[in-house]
Amino acid sequence: MREKFSFSGVKPHLVLEKKIQESREHIVLKLIAYMMFSGRLKVEQKIGYKYRPDLSGEDKDGGIIWVECGKTGEKKFAFFRKHPEKFSFFFFQEGPGEVKKLENTLKKFSVTGVAYGFEKKFIDGISARLFRTNSVKCELKGGKIKIKLNGGLFSSVIYSNLLKAV
């Protein structure tokens, strides 16, 4: 089922649409990525390539920040391998195990990217608390993320392929 979620408390104001094939957890990962990049990224914008990133924006060197949330298929990794100089890749995953799997896939395809993972209970808790209209705040501190959503407080360690906990 399609759903739209509006988020106040982030700038600029954010609206995420859950398509039929997407899960609420995928929407939560997009929300987390948006907040971790301080609202600098655009959601599902066409950028002139075969594939469309979940979020994208310009990095400080004029390259493209490409963010993927959830599982990414091997065809996309083959595409990424062909364009290493144009993109800075970031991957947002559920759980430290997914970060480890992604790390292996990055090596397999010779793609450089940063993977972030979050505890399942964190993702599930936020997912269960999503409404059409949401109030959200995010705090990043000491390798952890805290999100206040509609009065509920959720926290997780941030797992990454750069460090075991960022």
Going by C-alpha positions, the residue among 80, 32, 28 that lies closest to residue 53 is 80
From CA 50, how far away is CA 26, in angstroms rounded?
A: 21
CA 156 to chain centre: 14
Q: Is residue 165 part of a domain?
A: no
- Average pLDDT (150-160) is 95
| pLDDT digits 0-9 by tens, 60-69 | 888 899 999 9
Quote the number of domains for the chain: 1
Structural domain including 76 reads 3-160
pLDDT computed for residue 163 by the predictor = 61
- Average pLDDT (64-81) is 92
Half-sphere exposure of 104 (CA within 13 A, CB side): 5
Q: Is residue 125 part of a domain?
A: yes
Query: Average pLDDT over the chain, rounded to whole?
Result: 91
Q: Is residue 166 part of a domain?
A: no
Q: Which CATH number fits the domain that encloses residue 111?
A: 3.10.640.10
What is the reported pTM? 0.91
Q: Spell out the residues 6+ positions from residue 69 whose beta carbon is closer than 8 angstroms to its own.
A: 26, 29, 30, 33, 54, 55, 91, 92
| pLDDT digits 0-9 by tens, 112-148 | 999 999 999 999 999 999 999 999 999 999 899 999 9
Q: Is residue 57 part of a domain?
A: yes
Q: Is residue 17 part of a domain?
A: yes
Q: Is residue 59 part of a domain?
A: yes
Q: Is residue 53 part of a domain?
A: yes
Q: Is residue 106 part of a domain?
A: yes
| pLDDT digits 0-9 by tens, 16-59 | 999 888 899 999 999 999 999 988 899 998 888 889 999 999 98
CA distances from residue 141 to 23, 107, 157, 160, 165 in whole angstroms, order as listed: 28, 29, 10, 15, 11
